[in-house]
C-alpha cells in the first residue's frame, strides 16, 4: 500500500505525480475526499520535464550520470534513460552531473535519450482547511484522467512519524559502523515506514482500523522494516539471516501495537464508538 500524500491541516502541502509516460502539453488535478465530495475542482498543475541526452556513457554500477543539460533534475525527480530503458531517481545534481539514489543496473551509451515528467500542485491552507479526510487526486493529462493517487488531510503529516536517521542507525548497527556513502538513509527510512503501513493494511479490518501513534513503537517497527529492505539487496547467507530476523521482528512489533491503540479518526482526543472499526482506512496519530 503506497503511502498517501499527507496534507497538513490548515497548512497544505505539495502533491505530485511521477508516473507520466508521455510529455504532456497540459496537466490538471482534482482532489476528492473519501465520500466523493470535491475538495479541489479541476485545476492546472505544474509540469516539470526532463528532455536531455547523456553527455558520457554510463557503466552498470555508476552512481552518477552526466547530462547535456541540468534542467529538470531536481531532487526526487524520476527519469528514464531510454536506449535500454531504465528508471532512476535523482538524489541531487551539481552542474550537469546527476547523483542517483541507486546505481545504474545497466550500461548506457553516450548520447542516449534521457527523459521524464513530474506533475505537481501546491495545495494551499484553504483547501487543507477541513479536518479530516482521506481521498484521492485525479491526474488529468492532455484531457484524460490518467491515474489516481492517495491524498489525506490530517493534523500530523507523514514525515512527522518517520524515524530520524540516528534511530535507523541504532536499529541497523551495520550501517552505523562505517555506513557506505551510497546508502540513502532518508529514502530507506521512508521505505521502512511504507512497508510498516503495508503490513498494517494486510491485517484484518478490526485490527487495521487501530490508530498507530507516531510513537517509539511505530518508529522502531519502521526501522526494522528498513533493515529488512536493506538486507534484502545484500548477498551472502549472513545477510539472508539478517533479512529474516528484521522481517520477523518488524512483524512482531506491529502485531504488539494493534492490541493497545484504539483509533481516533477525527483526531479530537477521544475515541467515539463509530471510530473504532473501519474496513478501509488507517490513520497515523502522532
Are 200 and 229 contacting, i.e. CB atoms less than 8 angstroms apart?
no
- Low-confidence stretches of the chain (pLDDT < 50) are 1, 209, 211, 260-261, 276-286
Q: What angle do CA 254, 256, 258 make, to 5 degrees?
A: 70
Q: From CA 94, how far away is CA 116, in angstroms rounded? A: 18
Domain 5-47+120-154 matches domain 50-117 at the CATH topology level:
no
Q: CA–CA separation, 185 vs 164, rounded Å? A: 9
Instruction: Give me the pLDDT at residue 273, please.
Output: 56
Instruction: Kindly provide the b/e burial profile for residues 217-230, where b requires at least 16 CB atoms within 10 angstroms of the residue's own CB.
Output: bbbbbbbbbbbbbb
User: What global pTM score does this model have?
Assistant: 0.66
Name the CATH code of domain 5-47+120-154 (choices 1.10.4160, 3.40.50, 2.60.40, 3.30.70): 2.60.40
Compute the distance between CA of residue 5 and CA of residue 153 in angstroms, rounded to an integer. 9
- Residue-level pLDDT at 265: 55
Q: What's the pLDDT score for residue 282?
A: 46
The confidence score (pLDDT) of residue 1 equals 42
Q: What is the pLDDT of residue 269?
A: 64
Domain range annotation of the chain: 5-47+120-154, 50-117, 158-285
Using CA atoms, how far apart are residues 150 and 175, in angstroms rounded to an integer? 32
* Per-residue model confidence (pLDDT) at position 181: 57
pLDDT at position 182 is: 64
Q: What is the pLDDT of residue 208?
A: 54
pLDDT of residue 219: 86
**What is the pLDDT, as a whole number, of residue 41?**
96
Query: What local confidence, expressed as pLDDT, does residue 285 receive?
Result: 44
Q: What is the pLDDT of residue 33?
A: 86
What gap in Å lies between CA 114 and CA 80, rounded to an integer? 6
Helices 216-232 and 185-201 pack at an angle, to 10 degrees, of 110
Percent of the chain topping pLDDT 70? 81
- 8-state DSSP, 145: E
Amino acid 159: pLDDT: 67
According to CATH, the topology of domain 50-117 is: Thrombin, subunit H (2.40.10)
Amino acid at each position: 500500500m503506497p503511502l498517501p500524500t499527507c496534507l497538513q491541516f490548515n497548512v497544505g502541502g505539495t502533491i505530485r505525480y511521477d508516473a507520466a509516460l508521455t510529455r504532456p502539453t497540459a496537466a490538471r488535478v482534482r482532489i476528492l475526499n473519501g465520500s466523493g465530495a470535491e475538495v479541489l475542482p479541476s485545476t492546472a498543475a505544474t509540469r516539470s520535464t526532463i528532455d536531455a541526452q547523456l553527455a558520457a556513457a554510463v557503466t552498470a554500477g555508476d552512481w552518477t550520470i552526466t547530462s547535456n543539460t541540468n534542467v529538470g533534475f531536481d531532487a526526487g525527480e524520476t527519469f528514464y534513460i531510454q536506449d535500454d530503458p531504465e528508471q532512476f531517481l535523482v538524489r541531487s545534481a551539481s552542474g550537469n552531473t546527476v547523483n542517483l539514489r541507486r546505481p545504474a543496473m545497466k550500461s548506457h551509451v553516450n548520447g542516449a535519450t534521457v527523459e521524464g515528467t513530474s506533475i505537481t500542485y501546491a495545495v494551499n491552507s484553504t483547501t487543507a482547511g477541513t479536518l479530516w479526510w482521506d481521498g484521492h487526486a485525479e491526474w488529468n493529462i492532455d484531457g484524460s484522467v490518467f491515474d489516481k493517487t492517495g491524498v489525506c488531510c490530517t493534523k500530523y503529516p507523514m514525515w512527522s512519524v518517520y524515524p530520524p536517521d540516528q534511530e535507523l542507525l541504532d536499529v541497523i548497527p551495520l550501517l552505523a559502523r562505517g555506513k557506505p556513502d551510497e546508502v540513502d538513509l532518508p529514502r530507506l527510512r521512508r521505505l521502512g515506514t511504507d512497508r510498516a503501513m503495508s503490513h498494517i493494511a494486510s491485517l484484518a479490518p478490526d485490527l487495521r482500523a487501530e490508530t498507530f501513534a507516531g510513537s517509539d513503537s511505530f518508529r522502531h517497527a519502521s526501522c526494522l522494516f528498513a533493515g529488512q529492505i536493506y538486507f534484502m539487496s545484500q548477498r551472502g547467507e549472513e545477510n539472508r539471516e539478517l533479512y529474516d530476523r528484521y522481517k520477523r521482528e518488524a512483524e512482531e512489533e506491529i502485531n504488539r501495537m494493534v492490541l493497545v491503540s484504539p483509533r481516533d479518526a477525527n483526531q479530537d482526543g477521544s475515541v467515539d464508538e463509530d471510530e473504532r472499526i473501519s474496513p478501509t482506512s488507517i490513520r497515523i496519530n502522532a
